[in-house]
Amino acid sequence: MFELQIKIPASMAGGYKVIIGTDILGSLWQTIERDYPKLNKFVVTDENLSSSGWLAKLTGEVNIPAFIIAPAGEISKNINTVISIIESMEKAYLGRDTLVVALGGGTVGDIAGFAASIFKRGVPVLHIPTTTIAQADSAIGGKTGVDSSLSKNAFGTFWHPVGVYIDVSALATLDERQFRAGLVESVKHTIIADGEYFNWFESNLNSILEQNPVVLEQLAMRNCKIKGRVVEADPYEKNQRRMLNYGHTIGHAVEAASGFKLLHGEAVAIGIIGACLIELELKLAKNDKLERIRGLLKKIGVPVTLPGNLDDKIVMELIKHDKKAVNKWPRFALTTEIGQVYSPGGQYAVEVNPELVGKILKRLR
């Protein structure tokens, strides 16, 4: 069991507690009632969390108003779901003294966080993340949002949670492919922030894949510490936080170009190799770094090359539409050594020539 504190001075609660444990879901409701006795609770989750029994495990016998997102996943991450959530909160006579409890993966967290941030001008949200992506990444950091019909996270807010409670045993029912893809966010954290963590990850990979609870707790703890540190330094993404975008500039474009057939983490794995190739080309890093990272990603079982049916031109076009693009071209987060982000002049996202990126896409085959 671990507990950390993340300080976000300007947020509603000034910061938040992250609790990490195994088999704690059944007792979390008591903790929530103890920590927030004056607030009415409203749970947002999805049909898979409900059918795998995690919702019942969390709330027990108590009858708590809840909204169950169906169908689960990105398809429901839109403004209509947010409207339905807000209206069902109104129907339950909830007011500003409400705590939204988000039980689920990144889509549930993003939707519930967004709904909480706008319900009656904002009520607190507490995250109980249940996927490898959410436990490593999305639950920490306060980014919320839903997609428009044109792009991802077109509606969104920064709304830092009041707490993040992680039960690593919830991962047991997660689909194996989702489990593995989500680990790529952990690999990203090792590369941008902590070489020793990379070594640890390499040597503990088998235990991670076997879901050894002791190792999973350490994994969650290391991720939350790294993400927490970056978010504390830059809660509203002015600069440092851009390093978290490592592998994501090419990754997001590849994810979209695949028509979302590749999972987010799978596309980011390809994007990380793309970033490594750029670093090699710019002589920022050596080949052995690329080989170690590629070896690790292969062992996780995620792709490290672009699928044959993806057209480079479409990927390039999508990179130009990156939401962080300035003058139709985004900046890239890059690293030198494993654990060492490249930040010339204190800038955590740097310009890379589009022609070079075009060349790298060809080398990603």
Residues with a catalytic annotation lie at 121, 143, 185, 227, 237, 241, 245, 248, 252, 264
The nearer residue to ligand NAD, 112 or 296, going by C-beta atoms, is 112
Question: Quick check: helix, strand or coil at residue 21?
Answer: strand
The nearer residue to ligand NAD, 73 or 213, going by C-beta atoms, is 73
User: Of 316-345, which residues contact ligand NAD (CB under 6 A)?
Assistant: none
* Nearby residues of 3 by Cβ (< 8 Å), 6 or more positions away: 17, 18, 19, 20
Q: Are 16 and 6 in contact (CB under 8 A)?
A: yes
Question: Quick check: helix, strand or coil at residue 241?
Answer: helix
- The reply on whether position 48 binds ligand NAD by CB under 6 A is yes
- The reply on whether position 26 binds ligand NAD by CB under 6 A is no
Contact with ligand NAD (CB under 6 A) among 32, 134, 162, 306: 134
- The reply on whether position 268 binds ligand NAD by CB under 6 A is no
Question: Whole-number minimum distance, CB 145 to ligand NAD, in Å?
Answer: 7
Report which residue's Cβ sits closest to ligand NAD.
Answer: 106
Contact with ligand NAD (CB under 6 A) among 24, 85, 112, 170: 170
- The reply on whether position 211 binds ligand NAD by CB under 6 A is no
- The reply on whether position 174 binds ligand NAD by CB under 6 A is yes
* CB-based burial, 331-344: b 16+ in 10 Å, e otherwise: bbbbbeebbbbbbe
- For residue 350, the cross-strand partners are 332
Rounded Cα–Cα distance for residues 342 and 304 (Å): 22
- The reply on whether position 52 binds ligand NAD by CB under 6 A is yes
Rounded Cα–Cα distance for residues 23 and 25 (Å): 6
Rounded Cα–Cα distance for residues 363 and 348 (Å): 25
Contacts with ligand NAD by CB under 6 A: the residue count is 28
Question: Whole-number minimum distance, CB 109 to ligand NAD, in Å?
Answer: 6
Rounded Cα–Cα distance for residues 137 and 132 (Å): 8
The nearer residue to ligand NAD, 46 or 279, going by C-beta atoms, is 46
DSSP class of residue 315 equals: H
Rounded Cα–Cα distance for residues 113 and 126 (Å): 8
Contact with ligand NAD (CB under 6 A) among 50, 81, 98, 107: 107
Please give the angle made by the CA atoms of 304, 262 and 316, to the nearest 5 degrees: 75
- The reply on whether position 178 binds ligand NAD by CB under 6 A is yes
- The reply on whether position 130 binds ligand NAD by CB under 6 A is yes
**What residue has token string 């609870």?**
213
Question: Whole-number minimum distance, CB 288 to ligand NAD, in Å?
Answer: 29
Q: Are 275 and 332 in contact (CB under 8 A)?
A: yes
Q: Are 106 and 133 in contact (CB under 8 A)?
A: yes
**Residues lying near ligand NAD in the complex (CB under 6 A):** 46, 48-49, 52, 72-74, 77, 104-108, 110, 130-131, 133-134, 137-138, 141, 143, 170-171, 173-174, 178, 264
